[in-house]
Amino acid sequence: MADDHELQHFSNAEHLNQAHDTLLQTLNRRMGKKQVYYDAKWFEPTVDAWATVPVIHANDHPDMTAYDRDPAAELARIKGRVVGRVENPKLSPTGHPRLLGDTRFNDAALDDKIAAGLLSLSTGFRAPVKDGALAGPVRPHHVLVFEENERDQPVDLGSGFLNKEHKDMGDDKKQAKGLFGFLRKKIKEEYPDIDLDKVEAEDHAAGEEPEQNKENEDMDAKDQATKAEMEKLQAELNKATEAMKAKDAELADLKNKATILENERKEAAWNEFKNKSWVPKGYLHKDNEAKTRERFEKDRAGLLEELLNKKDAAPGGQDGSEQVAHENKRTAATVGRFDAKAGKYVEE
């Protein structure tokens, strides 16, 4: 390894730039296509070994066996190079378990990419797996750094570089700003539908001027136009709603008047029926009047037919006499002869 220029560069501390706070691995989570559970207890025994592994810049992980056999050949195959190392590896003392460290690069261009939020990382290690979970101590092998894009994404979305700009590690304000930028980027990756405009407004209120550009101004103008259009439509909707309420009230009033008229009509018809001479008084007796009224309202034809049948069947009395006389008159009219001279029927 000492004969390889890249590896010598890696081991030469004077070429390394400032350290970047790094979340190397989220623990106690399932990772990868096989969803293997990364139990923090298997990272703890070998956590210091992460300070001995190379940081490799490439688009793909090296084959670990091939790298151990011939690092230069494997780096050439993946078009990669050793660009730095990890310092101060440790497990997070509080919060969700994480593997932390400081990453130093020997290439200032990579520092700039971190500041721009373009660089991501992925750990490479060996460990036994059983029943979908790590089953023994982790053996660190390397840390891969790569340019993140739509196709190349870290499996562990919780990993990444915290400080996005060159800074003095003792400068708490810059360190906090770098952490905020990292978290903001991760939120956008995992929750693209979240609107972070409110966060920008809070930054401005805290004394930091937000960046303004023509695109934002155009968006603001469009938002204002949309808001005005929405307010106009809402006003028209409110007006239409009030008109519908007025129509509903008018319709309800008409229905009420119609109900009153209908009740008056029914009452008049009932009173007229009660005063008919041929309606038996028993039907209007206080014990039967309600029942007769109900039949009059619901089955008037049936009630009238019943009463007419009773009238026709009456054996005597005024109604009966009239009916009998009428029938006799019709019978008498058919008895006689036709007088041709007189030109009419005559009774005999």
Per-residue pLDDT of 94-112, as tens digits, reads 888 889 988 888 888 888 8
Q: What pLDDT digit, counting tens, does each position of 283-329 carry? A: 888 888 899 989 888 898 888 888 878 766 655 444 443 443 334 44
Same domain, 286 and 196: no
Query: What pLDDT was estimated at residue 190?
Result: 65
Question: Could you tell me where the DSSP H helices lie in the chain?
Answer: 5-11, 64-69, 71-77, 108-115, 172-190, 197-205, 214-274, 289-298, 300-312, 317-332
- Region 51-70: what's the mean pLDDT? 92
Same domain, 120 and 20: yes
Same domain, 157 and 81: yes
Same domain, 123 and 9: yes
Query: What pLDDT was estimated at residue 196?
Result: 58
Query: What pLDDT was estimated at residue 208?
Result: 42
Average pLDDT over the chain reads: 75
Same domain, 282 and 202: no
Query: What pLDDT was estimated at residue 173?
Result: 53
Print the domain residue range for 110.
5-211
Is 248 part of any domain? Answer: no
Tell me how crowded residue 308 is: count the other CB atoms within 10 A of its CB: 11
Instruction: State how far the Cα of 271 lies from the Cα of 298, in Å rounded to an integer.
Output: 16
Residue 81 or 199, more confident: 81
Element housing 346 (H / E) = strand 344-346
Is 238 part of any domain? Answer: no
Is 268 part of any domain? Answer: no
Is 222 part of any domain? Answer: no
Query: What pLDDT was estimated at residue 39?
Result: 93
Lowest mean pLDDT among 36-45, 60-69, 142-151, 161-170: 161-170
Among residues 157, 191, 211, the one where a domain terminates is: 211
Among residues 186, 211, 236, the one where a domain terminates is: 211
- Region 204-219: what's the mean pLDDT? 50
Is 189 part of any domain? Answer: yes
The number of distinct structural domains making up the chain is 2
Pseudo-torsion of CA 264, 268, 269, 273, nearest 10°? 150
How much of the chain, in percent, has pLDDT values that exceed 70?
64
Query: What pLDDT was estimated at residue 203?
Result: 41
Residue 201 or 41, more confident: 41
Burial tier of 261 (Cβ tally within 10 Å: 0-12, 13-18, 19+): exposed
Query: What pLDDT was estimated at residue 137?
Result: 93
Among residues 196, 211, 226, the one where a domain terminates is: 211
Same domain, 319 and 189: no
Same domain, 55 and 154: yes
Q: What pLDDT digit, counting tens, does each position of 2-45 carry? A: 344 333 333 333 345 677 888 888 888 898 788 899 999 999 99
Q: State both tokens at 219.
A: 């968006």
Lowest mean pLDDT among 20-24, 45-49, 208-212, 245-249: 208-212
Same domain, 46 and 159: yes
Is 27 part of any domain? Answer: yes
Query: What pLDDT was estimated at residue 204?
Result: 38
- Region 124-146: what's the mean pLDDT? 92
Same domain, 169 and 314: no
Query: What pLDDT was estimated at residue 306?
Result: 85
Same domain, 28 and 170: yes
Same domain, 46 and 194: yes
Is 251 part of any domain? Answer: no
Same domain, 178 and 320: no
Q: What pLDDT digit, counting tens, does each position of 250-287 carry? A: 889 898 999 999 899 989 998 988 898 888 988 888 88
Residue 11 or 144, more confident: 144
Is 247 part of any domain? Answer: no
